[in-house]
């Protein structure tokens, strides 16, 4: 297994992994191909994939706003889970973000996703049950 940067050419495989991982994502909004391709060219994105035998088996989108880093859309194909691939992807994003001067790395986990909570806790992430997430969107697709 090797971890490499993703390019726009990986979009179909990226979409396929999100779908097969049953990850909630927004293909009509911020996860649309044109949008993802554009983000990949900006200096605020660290989009990585885990590849085995030429096939993408896990992905993660790291972003930062100059202050905080965010781990987004992490997914490993079901048949490749529990092999440390998710852990390696997060470590790789952390390392890239640290190199960009970002030293707080965050992620949002939906309330019912207990497996993901345990995953991030096992990597040293601390939950903040006292914080409520607010957002304002141009449309529900975003």
Ligand X SMILES: CC(C)(COP(=O)(O)OP(=O)(O)OC[C@H]1O[C@@H](n2cnc3c(N)ncnc32)[C@H](O)[C@@H]1OP(=O)(O)O)[C@@H](O)C(=O)NCCC(=O)NCCS
Nearer to ligand X, 84 or 127 (CB): 84
Interface with ligand X, residue 61, by CB under 6 A: no
Q: How far is the CB of 80 from ligand X (least distance, A)?
A: 7
Interface with ligand X, residue 20, by CB under 6 A: no
Interface with ligand X, residue 70, by CB under 6 A: no
Q: Is 20 helix (H, G, I), strand (E, B) or coil?
A: helix
Binding mask 80-99 for ligand X (x = CB under 6 A): -xxxxxxx------------
Q: How far is the CA of 6 from the CAs of 27, 79, 100, 112, 139, in angstroms?
A: 17, 21, 18, 29, 27
Place of tokens 């707080």: 104
- Give the one residue of 40, 107, 125, 142 binding ligand X; rule: CB under 6 A: 107
Interface with ligand X, residue 122, by CB under 6 A: yes
Interface with ligand X, residue 14, by CB under 6 A: no
Interface with ligand X, residue 75, by CB under 6 A: yes
Q: How far is the CB of 74 from ligand X (least distance, A)?
A: 5
Q: Smallest Cα–Cα separation from 38: which of 12, 65, 8?
A: 8
Torsion, CA 1, CA 38, CA 134, CA 101, rounded to 10: 60
Interface with ligand X, residue 115, by CB under 6 A: yes
Rounded Cα distance between 70 and 65, Å, is: 9
Rounded Cα distance between 18 and 109, Å, is: 15
Interface with ligand X, residue 116, by CB under 6 A: yes
Q: Is 82 helix (H, G, I), strand (E, B) or coil?
A: coil
> Which stretches of the chain bind ligand X, using CB under 6 A?
21, 23, 74-76, 81-87, 107, 109, 113, 115-116, 118-119, 122
């Amino acid at each position: 297994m090797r971890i490499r940067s993703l390019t726009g050419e990986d979009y179909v495989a990226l979409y396929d992994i999100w779908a097969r991982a049953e990850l909630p994502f927004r293909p009509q909004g911020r996860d649309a191909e044109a949008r993802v391709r554009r983000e990949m060219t900006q200096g605020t994105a660290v989009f990585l994939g885990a590849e085995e035998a030429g096939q993408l088996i896990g992905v993660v989108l790291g972003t930062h706003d100059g202050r905080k880093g965010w781990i987004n859309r992490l997914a490993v194909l079901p048949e490749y889970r529990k092999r440390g691939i998710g852990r390696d992807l997060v470590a790789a994003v952390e390392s890239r973000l640290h190199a960009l001067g970002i030293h707080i790395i965050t992620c949002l986990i939906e309330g019912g996703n207990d497996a993901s909570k345990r995953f991030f806790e096992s990597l040293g992430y601390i939950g903040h049950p006292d914080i409520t997430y607010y957002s304002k969107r141009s449309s529900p697709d975003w």
